[in-house]
Amino acid sequence: MSSHLVDECAAPPKNCFRLVVLGTARVGKTAIVSRFLFNQYDDQYTPTIEDFHRKMYRIRGEVYRLDILDTSGVHPFPAMRRLSFLTGDLFILVYSVDNYESYMEVMRLREQILESKASCKTRTAAPPMIIAGNKADRPESEREVLYDEVAKWVSTVKKCAFLETSAKKNGNINELFQTLFELAKLPPEMSPSLHRRVSIGDQAWEAAKKGISFYPRGKQDDNPLGVVSPHARRPSLRSDLIEAEAKAEQEQRRAEKPSIPKISSALSPYRSQYRSCTWMSLLRQAFQGLVRPAGGQVCRLQVQHRCYNAPAAGHVQVDMNSDTGVATVRLNRPPVNSLNLDVLTELSIALEKLETDRSCRAMVLASAVPGIFSAGLDIMEMYKSTPERCVAFWRALQDAWLNLYGSRLITMAAIEGHSPAGGCLLAMSCDYRVMADGKFQIGLNETRLGIVAPFWFTDVMLCTIGHRETEKALQLGAMYSAQQALSIGLVDKVVPADQVMSTVQTELKSWLQIPDAARVITKTSMRKQVLDRLSSQKEKDAQFFADFILRESVQKSLGAYIASLQKRKS
Ligand SMILES: CC/C=C\C/C=C\C/C=C\C=C\CC(=O)SCCNC(=O)CCNC(=O)[C@H](O)C(C)(C)COP(=O)(O)OP(=O)(O)OC[C@H]1O[C@@H](n2cnc3c(N)ncnc32)[C@H](O)[C@@H]1OP(=O)(O)O
């Protein structure tokens, strides 16, 4: 085998595929992946957060890459989950034959994947999928899901196959992958039994990368080979998007659609609509199916590559200190860190990633923009928008908030500037708040815009400053100075602006001394009720928001508020 194969960049985009494995907890997703990659089985159950594997193949002279995303069945990380739906090319949906609920989840998952794909205008709707009824070795007396029932359902759905498997006994695992690869029209040699597995140690890997052959001199091997990459790391969101777009371009070419408009002209009208949007964010929205290019046609994607290669938008900067286990997350959307769909999506994903990073114990939420923590929700997302965009925007806000308020991490807000409305919500959702003294203000000012703080904003404020103060604060849309905020308990400490960060670090020291498990259980029990109240009615809440915000009277108030902001400036 040449160094060619182990060079992960050697596979052209058309030969790169992402396989996503989904299903509820304890159905054997990781066991199936482990059988496929290493022919190993581990009886111990360790919940997966999200594992990423990469297998490289050389088949008939070409290099192929198969990325496998082994997802969590336990933790509710909606943004990461949605991303896995969007970026997956082929799927294994796993249930356990002794658990009917896990089968129902598979049916739901299939719907959600199709929904996600359909919302993304550049992708084909039905990706190849296989349903794995795992733990088929279990005694019949424990079986809750009948083979015939699943087979009947699968026979009615497109591009879908079904097999019962046993990762434990290695039953049908080879067949599972082979069937899926056939369905996806991938080379059959990618199946475990049809190529030679090459195990590659670190030394050989390094040698191969330098172009030094690690095969005995003169030995030529043209048979199909597969090697599991020892250094696979999950690509960043940005790389995910670049690759997904490259794929979409291929699909587009394959479909031979005529007269594709250039993305630059197709998306231009949206630039004025979304103030200070970068190309990156527009592309992401287009990718999410939220911005429809002019004429409803699919955009040429070559130009998108150029845009991605420009400096990253990076509305959310994460700096992880692996010595202390403390991450600093900075909002970075000048001029005022207003929270639009793009920022909220990035924030959600950043929080989810930190949540799954075992080395991370604490997070400081701060701003990269001087004088501003966050100006709250981007008013332009709520003004003259469409119902679909409003719902998508609200969902992104819900997810970001659920991730922050429900985080296992110690969360501290370093408020070095103004923090109205949504900015105040973010700060209140942290465990501790340090605010800069001086001219800056904080509070939930929604009524001043002619809108009403949603129930979960209110809940968080109630938990922070109590009923009486909340009642006054919300009705008046009160904005408080740092000293006033301190006096009602809205912030925990006020210090000169240049000492905010150091004060947070000092305070963190005492929080980090508390054992995580005890602290997390306590935090969860204190916050569960508030979290559950939104979690149980997310869709209703999103729909309610869209209906409310698009009312003529509310739009009029927002319009007047925007004008007053601009007037104040002039
Ligand atoms: C029954 C109810 C059920 C359901 C709920 C339904 C609905 C509730 C819905 C929504 C809840 C929303 C919560 C929110 O977060 S709303 C957002 C509220 N935010 C604000 O009011 C902040 C307004 N901004 C300011 O006060 C100031 O800008 C500042 C103090 C933050 C900073 O002042 P500066 O002097 O430093 O900066 P400016 O010159 O004012 O601004 C620069 C620039 O940015 C624009 N801008 C400011 N804030 C926002 C924003 N939030 N969104 C979008 N754009 C914003 C501002 O207009 C300037 O733009 P130009 O340079 O003039 O173009």
Nearest residue (by CA) to ligand 1, atom 23, is: 375
**Percentage of residues of the chain with pLDDT beyond 90:** 61
Is the pLDDT assigned to residue 3 strictly greater than 50? no
Lowest mean pLDDT segment, chosen from 64-73, 246-255, 304-313: 304-313
**Residue 181 is encoded by which pair of tokens?**
């690869």
Within 6 A (CB) of ligand 1 lie 335-336, 338, 372, 375-380, 418, 420-422, 445-446, 449, 451-452, 454, 544-545, 548-549, 565-566, 569
**Residue, of 396 and 4, whose pLDDT is higher:** 396
Which ligand 1 atom is at minimum distance from the Cα of 336?
A: 44
**How many angstroms separate the CA atoms of 493 and 454, rounded?**
27
Which ligand 1 atom is at minimum distance from the Cα of 380?
A: 53
Task: Give the Å distance between the CA of 276 and the centre of ligand 1.
Answer: 14
* Per-residue pLDDT at 286: 39
Per-residue pLDDT band at 44 (split at 50, 70, 90): confident
Nearest residue (by CA) to ligand 1, atom 60, is: 566
**How many angstroms separate the CA atoms of 126 and 464, rounded?**
46
CATH code, 316-564: 3.90.226.10
Q: For residue 122, give the nearest of 267, 276, 9 by alpha carbon.
A: 267
* Per-residue pLDDT at 263: 32
Nearest residue (by CA) to ligand 1, atom 62, is: 566
Which ligand 1 atom is at minimum distance from the Cα of 541?
A: 4
Equal CATH topology for 13-213+221-243 and 316-564: no
- With the CA atoms of 205, 209, 212 and 218 taken in that order, what torsion angle do they form, in degrees rounded to the nearest 10? 70
Element (H, E) at 481: strand 480-481
**How many angstroms separate the CA atoms of 248 and 80, rounded?**
20
Task: Give the Å distance between the CA of 418 and the centre of ligand 1.
Answer: 11
Is the pLDDT assigned to residue 48 strictly greater than 80? no
**How many angstroms separate the CA atoms of 342 and 388, rounded?**
15
Nearest residue (by CA) to ligand 1, atom 27, is: 375
Lowest mean pLDDT segment, chosen from 47-51, 145-149, 433-437, 442-446: 47-51
**How many angstroms separate the CA atoms of 190 and 177, rounded?**
8
Task: Provide ipTM, 2 decimals.
Answer: 0.98
* Per-residue pLDDT at 50: 73
| Other CB atoms within 10 Å distance of the CB of residue 30 | 20
CA distances from 385 to 225, 392, 423 (A): 53, 11, 21
**How many angstroms separate the CA atoms of 570 and 566, rounded?**
6
Which ligand 1 atom is at minimum distance from the Cα of 371?
A: 36
Task: Give the Å distance between the CA of 565 and the centre of ligand 1.
Answer: 8
**Residue, of 448 and 283, whose pLDDT is higher:** 448
Lowest mean pLDDT segment, chosen from 25-34, 166-175, 217-226, 317-326: 217-226
Per-residue pLDDT band at 259 (split at 50, 70, 90): very low
Query: If phi over 0 gives left and psi between -120 and 50 gives alpha, with beta otherwise, what is residue 298?
Result: beta
Q: What is the pLDDT of residues 369-380, one digit of tens each?
A: 999 999 999 999
**How many angstroms separate the CA atoms of 238 and 304, rounded?**
12
Strand 129-134, strand 62-71: pairing: unpaired
Looking at the chain, the number of H-run helices and the number of E-run strands are 22, 18
* Per-residue pLDDT at 254: 63
Most confidently modeled range among 67-81, 252-266, 347-361, 438-452: 438-452
DSSP collapsed to 3 states, 118-175:
HHCCCCCCCCCEEEEEECCCCCHHHCCCCHHHHHHHHHCCCCEEEEECECCCCECHHH
* Ligand 1 pocket mutation, candidates 274, 336, 343, criterion most atoms within 8 A of CB: 336
Lowest mean pLDDT segment, chosen from 108-122, 216-230, 311-325, 412-426: 216-230
* Per-residue pLDDT at 324: 94
Please state the rounded mean pLDDT for residues 1-12. 56
Task: Give the Å distance between the CA of 309 and the centre of ligand 1.
Answer: 31
* Per-residue pLDDT at 120: 58
**Residue 454 is encoded by which pair of tokens?**
């949603």
Please state the rounded mean pLDDT for residues 423-446. 98
Per-residue pLDDT band at 79 (split at 50, 70, 90): confident
Compute the mean pLDDT over every residue in the chain, rounded to the nearest whole number.
83
Is the pLDDT assigned to residue 215 strictly greater than 70? no
Please state the rounded mean pLDDT for residues 331-357. 91
Task: Give the Å distance between the CA of 380 and the centre of ligand 1.
Answer: 9
Which ligand 1 atom is at minimum distance from the Cα of 275?
A: 63
Q: What is the pLDDT of residues 485-509, one digit of tens each?
A: 999 999 999 999 999 999 999 999 9
Is the pLDDT assigned to residue 20 strictly greater than 60? yes
Which ligand 1 atom is at minimum distance from the Cα of 569?
A: 39
Nearest residue (by CA) to ligand 1, atom 29, is: 375
Nearest residue (by CA) to ligand 1, atom 48, is: 375
Lowest mean pLDDT segment, chosen from 1-10, 216-225, 274-283, 425-434: 274-283
* Per-residue pLDDT at 232: 76
Task: Give the Å distance between the CA of 458 and the centre of ligand 1.
Answer: 19
* Per-residue pLDDT at 442: 98
DSSP collapsed to 3 states, 495-516:
ECHHHHHHHHHHHHHHHHCCCH
Element (H, E) at 90: strand 90-96
**Residue, of 276 and 248, whose pLDDT is higher:** 248
Please state the rounded mean pLDDT for residues 152-180. 95
DSSP-assigned letters across all residues of 352-400: HHHHH-TT--EEEEEESSTEES---B-HHHHSS--HHHHHHHHHHHHHH
Lowest mean pLDDT segment, chosen from 47-56, 229-238, 309-318: 309-318
Nearest residue (by CA) to ligand 1, atom 46, is: 336
Q: Which residue has the tokens 């899901």?
A: 145
* Per-residue pLDDT at 47: 67
**How many angstroms separate the CA atoms of 248 and 306, rounded?**
15
Q: Cβ distance 19 to 232 under 8 Å?
A: no
CATH code, 13-213+221-243: 3.40.50.300
Is the pLDDT assigned to residue 531 strictly greater than 90? yes
Q: Cβ distance 397 to 422 under 8 Å?
A: yes
User: Which residues are the active-site residues?
Assistant: 377, 422, 445-446
* Per-residue pLDDT at 508: 98
Please state the rounded mean pLDDT for residues 190-205. 71
**How many angstroms separate the CA atoms of 370 and 438, rounded?**
14
Q: Cβ distance 265 to 304 under 8 Å?
A: no
Is the pLDDT assigned to residue 210 strictly greater than 60? no
Cα separation of the two ends of the chain: 68
Q: Where do the domains of the chain lie?
A: 13-213+221-243, 316-564
* Per-residue pLDDT at 276: 32
Alpha helices in 218-262 (DSSP H): 237-254
* Per-residue pLDDT at 104: 95
Q: What is the pLDDT of residues 267-311, one digit of tens each?
A: 333 333 333 333 344 344 434 444 333 333 322 222 222 222 223
Task: Give the Å distance between the CA of 324 and the centre of ligand 1.
Answer: 35
* Ligand 1 pocket mutation, candidates 565, 566, 568, criterion most atoms within 8 A of CB: 565
Task: Give the Å distance between the CA of 447 and the centre of ligand 1.
Answer: 13
